[in-house]
Amino acid sequence: MIGTKLSEIMTAEDYCAKRDEIVMLVTKAVDALGQADSLLKTMANYGFSFDRYSFYGICDEGKRIDSINQLTKQVDKKIWDRIVEIGKFRELMTVNEQRKISEQLEKCPPVTLETVKATFATLKANRPNMLQDLVSTAFIERDKKFKTNGGMGISKKQIINNVFCKYGYTSWGSRACDRLEDICKAIAMVSGCEKPNITQILQRSSEHVDFNGAVRFKAFQNGNVHLWIEDKHIIDRLNDILSGAMGAKVGNI
């Protein structure tokens, strides 16, 4: 059966008038969304992700509410993500902690003055612990043959087993890859250098020198990666953090 709206007899003038009204409404909607997208980009790295799920069945009032809620959730998630980024908290987090934060952002609370202040204060207060956790997590599984100070300190040479498989590929999310990433992140924090994407580099070349010549990397056919920290100052700072000797100074790094 044809609905009454479709069976309504309209003149050519009616069709043209309704068409113009539709175009006008669409133009207003797109213009408003464009302005909202531009405003979001002033606070986040990326704007909205517009897809068919954002606007499915919006002729129904209930579906329009769903669309508004979905787009609002995008706004909150992107702003929370930006807050974590500008505070440079991810630089202090282990790979595993970063994944947890990403999962939490998928179910993020609305951005309000109260939630932003409370979250930022908590993360900022925890910065010293974040750095100490990063260093301890990065080096806790180091090879016993290369431990110093009776097994309690960090030494010049580190070995990370099974970073690559026999075909030369990495297993994304594996403990070995995470540990290598965390080690590089910890060294980047204490050296002030940019962290390299070392697994990709070693896939192209088995040997690499980074951190302004302070660290050498070498990948072996058995999938293990060896690294040598040539700068004693970096080793000393890592050991200071590991032992908690830096105290309040950690927050200034």
Say if residue 1's pLDDT is above 50.
no
Q: How confident is the model at residue 197 (pLDDT cuts 50, 70, 90)?
A: very high
Say if residue 192's pLDDT is above 80.
yes
The pTM assigned to this predicted structure is 0.62
**pLDDT (tens digit, 9 = 90+) per residue, 42-68?**
988 789 988 877 887 888 888 889 889
Tell me the C-alpha distance between 91 and 195, whole Å.
9
**pLDDT (tens digit, 9 = 90+) per residue, 15-45?**
899 999 999 999 999 999 999 999 999 988 7
